[in-house]
Amino acid sequence: MQPAEPQTSPHLDRIDSDAMLAETLDWARVNSGTGNLEGLAVMAGKLADAFAALPGEVELVDPATVTAISADGEEFEKPHGRHMVLRVRPEAERRVILTGHMDTVYPSDHPFQDIEWLDEETVNGPGTADMKGGLDVILHALKAFEQTSGASRLGYDVLINSDEETGSLASRGLIEQLAAGKYAALTYEPAALPDGTLAHARGGTGNYSITIRGRSAHAGRNPQDGRNAIVAASDLVLRIVDLAADDITINPAKIEGGAANNVVPDLAVLRFNIRPKSTEAMERFDGELSPILAAIKTRHEVAVHRHGGVTRPPKPVDERAQKLFDLVRDCGAQLGQTIGWQPTGGVCDGNNIAATGVPVVDTMGVRGGKIHSPDEYMIVPSLAERAALSALVLERLASGDAL
C-alpha cells in the first residue's frame, strides 16, 4: 500500500533538521558507555542543557544501588551514572511519559569512537541510532508539540536513563514510578527495521548468577574429602536447560572458578540468561529453579547462592496498546509515512513500562541499523521524519480520547 499524500502543519514544517543532525553528531561523539561514568556525566549535562529549552523542571536523579557477583563469588556494588528527568505540566489531568537512554554499549576504550559518512543520507557512528538520534527526536518532537494550541492539555515526563544497555537495574524503580498512571508512553529505541517498522510484542529477559561453594581437597591424596563446585555447577547447567520449552529459552553463558588440576575446586559461578515469551513462562521458570537449587545443594553437599532474576518481563500487546500502535500508524499515514510492526525477541524499557499497565510503543526513534556494532548507522532524514511523527501523535493524545 502506498503512503497517503503528506499533510503537514506549520509547526511540523519548522522542525530544524540541520540542528537535529548537529546535536545528534555532537552527542554521538561523547563516549557514554554504561560503565564510563565521566562520559555519562558529560552526556547528562548536555541533555539537561538541551531539554531546559522546554517548559518544565530538569533534574538529574541519582541511580539506585545495584549489586553484581564477582568472579570470586563476592557481591559488590556497581556504580552508575545519573538519570535525567524533565517534568512538564505535572498538574495536567492527562499525562504521558517519553523515555530514552543516554548510555551506549561502547566502553571508553572501544575503538569505535568516530563519525563517518557512508553516503549523503547515512552516517556511521557510536550511538547514532541507539540512541543519540532518538534522544534528539524526543527533544524536537516536544519543541514542535509545544507550539500547538492543545499543548496545555497534555503534561509529560521525559526520562533518559544511564543504564538501559545493561538492563536498567539502576533506573527500574524510577521508570515504574514515572510510568505509573500515565495515559500512554513512547520510547525511542531505533525502529526495528531500517524502513521504520515498529517492534510490537516482546519477550522478556532475566540474568542470573549462581555461586556454588564446595570444599577443597587434593585431587590425588583425598579427593573424597572435597566437594567439587565445578561438578555441581555442571549438574546445575544440565538441569536448567531441561526447563527450556517453546515459550522460554535458557542460555548458560559462563562458568567461572576452579584452580589447579590437582585441586578439587571449591568455587564456581554459573551465569545464565533466560528469555521467557510470556508471563506464565517467566513465573514457571522461577518456581522450578528454587527446588533445583535445593537439589544441587543436597546432592553435592555445597552451598548455593542465587543472585539476579527477570529484569524485563514479557511485553504482550493488549487492546489499549494496540490502539496506540494504530494511532502511530494513522499519524504516519497523515505524514506520508508507512508504519508497520512485527514482534521481536529483543527487550527494552518498554517491557518495564508495559508491566505497569501503560500502553507503550517503544521504537519511536530513528531509522538505522547494525546497532551494537562498529557498523551502526543512522538514516539522517529520519531525524526530522520521526520527530514530526511523534509531535503529531502527541497532538492526537492531547486532543481527545485517542485510546
Q: Total domain count for the chain?
A: 2
Same domain, 211 and 249: yes
* Residue 4 belongs to some domain of the structure: no
Percent of the chain with pLDDT over 70: 98
| Region 158-162 average pLDDT | 99
The pTM score is: 0.95
Last residue of a domain, one of 312, 344, 363: 312
Do residues 100 and 171 lie in contact, with contact meaning Cβ atoms separated by under 8 Å? no
Do residues 131 and 34 lie in contact, with contact meaning Cβ atoms separated by under 8 Å? no
* Residue 14 belongs to some domain of the structure: yes
Domain that holds residue 193: 10-202+315-399
**51-103 pLDDT per residue, tens:** 999 999 999 999 999 999 999 999 999 999 999 999 999 999 999 999 999 99
Same domain, 189 and 211: no
Do residues 265 and 259 lie in contact, with contact meaning Cβ atoms separated by under 8 Å? yes
Q: Compute the distance between CA of residue 107 and CA of residue 227 in angstroms, rounded to an integer.
A: 39
Strand stretches in 8-69, DSSP E: 57-61, 67-69
Cα 176 to the center of its chain, rounded Å? 14
The sheet with strand 205-213 has its strands ordered as 248-257, 267-276, 205-213, 303-312
Q: Give the Å distances, CA to CA, from 397 to 95, 323, 390.
A: 9, 11, 10
Cα 320 to the center of its chain, rounded Å? 22
Same domain, 101 and 159: yes
Q: In the predicted model, is pLDDT for residue 5 greater than 60?
A: no
Locate 198 and state its grid cell. 515498529
Q: Compute the distance between CA of residue 57 and CA of residue 171 in angstroms, rounded to an integer.
A: 19
| Region 127-134 average pLDDT | 98
**303-325 pLDDT per residue, tens:** 999 999 999 999 999 999 999 99
* Residue 1 belongs to some domain of the structure: no
Strand partners, 170: none
